[in-house]
Structure 1
Amino acid sequence: MRSKTLKFGKGFRVAFDVRKAQAAEMVIAPGGSEGGPDNRHRGADQWLFVVSGSGVAIVEGRRVPLKAGTLLVIEKCERHEVRNTGRELLQTLNFYYPPALDADGEPKGPGRG
């Protein structure tokens, strides 16, 4: 068993990973974004849960509104970007299957871009 209290400070942080999955917190400041038109995880699905704030995810050109309680699954190979369109921090909890990123947010292993 593993446990951790998340702080949801600005930026991207891997909480921890186990054999086949990874948890990370991603916090985007108002007006900011993560990813971009070429951002994708070739070998991993990303489950994004919005803890607080609001924004939009652009997945394969489709806009998906984000608000607290939204759960979005970005399947492997789908190009995506997450933008904060609100006035407060956009706080998200993300799960990658299999683990896709190292502690610095760089691609690793099967999820490598």
Structure 2
Amino acid sequence: MRSKSLRFGEGFRVAFDVRKAQAAEMVLAPGASEGGADNRHRGADQWLYVVSGSGVAIVEGRRVPLKAGTLLVIERRERHEVRNTGRTLLKTLNFYTPPAFDAQGDPVGPGRS
């Protein structure tokens, strides 16, 4: 068993991973975005849960509104971007299956872009 208290400081931070899954926190400032038209995870699904704030996810050209309580799954190979369209920090908790990033947030393994 493992546990960790999350800080939700700005940016992307891997919390920890186990053999087949990974947890990470992502915090975007108002007006900021992560990803884009060429962003995808070839071997990993991304489950994104909005803790607080508001924004929009653009997945394969389709816009999905984001607000506290939204759960979104971005399947492997789907191109995507997450944007903070609100006035406060957009805080998300993300799970990747299998793990997609190293401790520094760089893509690794089958989840590599």
TM-score range, shorter chain: over 0.9
Post-superposition CA distance 1:14-61 (Å, at most 9, x none):
000000000000000000000111000000000000000000000000
2:108 matches 1:111: no
Rounded to whole Å, the distance in 2 between the matches of 1:69 and 1:58 is 18
- TM alignment of 1:89-108, pairs within 5 A: 89-108=89-108
The one-letter code of the counterpart of 1:62 is R
Structure 2: stretches of 5+ with no match in the other structure:
none
SS of alignment partner, residue 76 of structure 2: coil
Instruction: Measure how far apart 1:103 and its partner are.
Output: 1.8
CA RMSD of aligned residues (A): 0.5
The one-letter code of the counterpart of 2:6 is L
TM-score where L is the length of structure 1: 0.99
> After TM superposition, where is structure 1 displaced by more than 4 Å over at least 4 residues in a row?
none
SS of alignment partner, residue 95 of structure 1: strand
- TM alignment of 1:69-108, pairs within 5 A: 69-108=69-108
SS of alignment partner, residue 110 of structure 2: helix
2:36 matches 1:18: no
Count how many residue pairs are aligned between Structure 1 and Structure 2.
113
